[in-house]
């Protein structure tokens, strides 16, 4: 229904969480997909094979370390070689660390900025020439509600995600009218591996179980009282890649259960 059959997509950070939800949806819509991320090699291969068989599309995998610029470029090149091109780039890979600024390890700052922000630039820079030659392309960046607002103890993550939103707007302006769009998705609390440590910390602080800790986390920020799901984000990403979204570019789309409406 999205008209994406035959398109070639790279989704970074797609062996789990939001990235996997997006990769699953793109594959369901007929895209060939380069999976990327870390994980047990056997488990990743099972995942790749299952998606390929279920969806009837080509699925490939690359485990490049995207904190290194040359590895980001190599990943884009590998996608082009394996799939015959790149039409869709989803910059999703990310990490998190929480600490007050005066206690924040500098090496964690550098790693978060490298993966959550710099890798988005390096992948976009490498993929754009391929899209420009075809006069069609879709870039979807997984930002965060923290690309729009801030929370304590997340200096690197908030800085990186604000940067992703700004970079999204620049790419959108530079490619406007070319057949290429660039948008950012800004999820609120989504129940993935990335926030499980924060749920556990909240539960421990309150002396309650994990589910009560999760509810407390939601109650603090997300008025809906419900987690965003990876399936919802996958469908939104696929819509942004469709022709129906051809005039949506430079947007930072909040999917936050009312978080930023307060």
Q: What is the pLDDT of residue 142?
A: 98
Verify that 216 and 176 share a domain, yes or no.
no
Gap between the Cα atoms of 190 and 12, Å rounded? 17
Residue 19, pLDDT > 80, answer yes
157 noted as active-site residue: yes
Which one-letter DSSP state was computed for residue 39? Answer: S
Same domain for 162 and 204, yes or no, is no
Question: Percent of the chain at pLDDT above 90?
Answer: 97
Do 139 and 221 lie in one domain? The reply is no
How many structural domains comprise the chain?
Answer: 2
Decide if pLDDT at 115 tops 90.
Answer: yes
Q: Is 197 found in the same domain as 181?
A: no
Q: Is 3 within the bounds of a domain?
A: no
Q: Which of 157, 189, 227, 259 is catalytic?
A: 157
Residue 245: Cβ within 10 Å count: 18
CB atoms within 10 A of CB 252: 21
pTM of the prediction?
0.95
Residue 106 is inside which H or E element, if any?
helix 106-113
Q: Does residue 166 share a domain with residue 205?
A: no
Q: Which domain holds residue 50?
A: 8-188+228-254
The pLDDT tens digits of the residues spanning 125-162 come to: 999 999 999 999 999 999 999 999 999 999 999 999 99
- 39: in domain: yes
Is pLDDT at 2 greater than 80 in this prediction?
no
Structure confidence at residue 160 (pLDDT): 98
The percentage of the chain sitting over the pLDDT mark of 70, rounded to a whole number, equals 100
CATH number of the CATH domain containing 160 = 3.40.50.720
Give me the phi and psi of 180, to 5 degrees please: -110, 135
For the segment 217-242, what is each residue's pLDDT rounded down to a tens digit?
999 999 999 999 999 999 999 999 99
Q: Determine the pLDDT at residue 1.
A: 59
């Amino acid at each position: 229904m999205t008209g994406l059959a035959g398109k070639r997509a790279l989704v970074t950070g797609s062996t789990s969480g939001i990235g996997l939800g997006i990769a699953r949806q793109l594959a369901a819509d007929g895209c060939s997909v380069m999976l990327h991320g870390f994980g047990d090699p056997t488990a990743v291969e099972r995942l790749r094979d299952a998606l390929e068989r279920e969806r009837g599309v080509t699925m490939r995998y690359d485990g490049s370390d995207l904190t290194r610029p040359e590895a980001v470029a190599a990943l884009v090149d590998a996608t082009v070689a394996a799939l015959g091109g790149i039409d869709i780039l989803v910059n999703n890979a990310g990490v998190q660390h929480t600490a007050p600024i005066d206690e924040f390890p500098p090496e964690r700052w550098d790693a978060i900025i490298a993966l959550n922000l710099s890798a988005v630039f390096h992948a976009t820079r490498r993929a754009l020439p391929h899209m420009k030659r075809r006069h069609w392309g879709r870039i979807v960046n997984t930002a965060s509600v923290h690309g729009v607002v801030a929370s304590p103890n997340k200096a690197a993550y908030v800085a990186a995600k604000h940067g992703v939103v700004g970079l999204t707007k620049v790419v959108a302006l530079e490619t406007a009218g070319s057949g290429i769009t660039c948008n950012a998705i800004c999820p609120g609390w989504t129940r993935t591996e990335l926030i499980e440590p924060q749920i556990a910390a909240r539960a421990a602080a309150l002396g309650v179980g994990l589910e009560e800790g999760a509810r407390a986390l939601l109650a603090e920020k997300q008025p809906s009282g419900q987690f965003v799901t990876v399936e919802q984000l996958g469908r939104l990403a696929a819509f942004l890649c469709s022709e129906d979204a051809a005039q949506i570019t430079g947007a930072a789309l909040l999917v936050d259960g009312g978080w930023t409406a307060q």
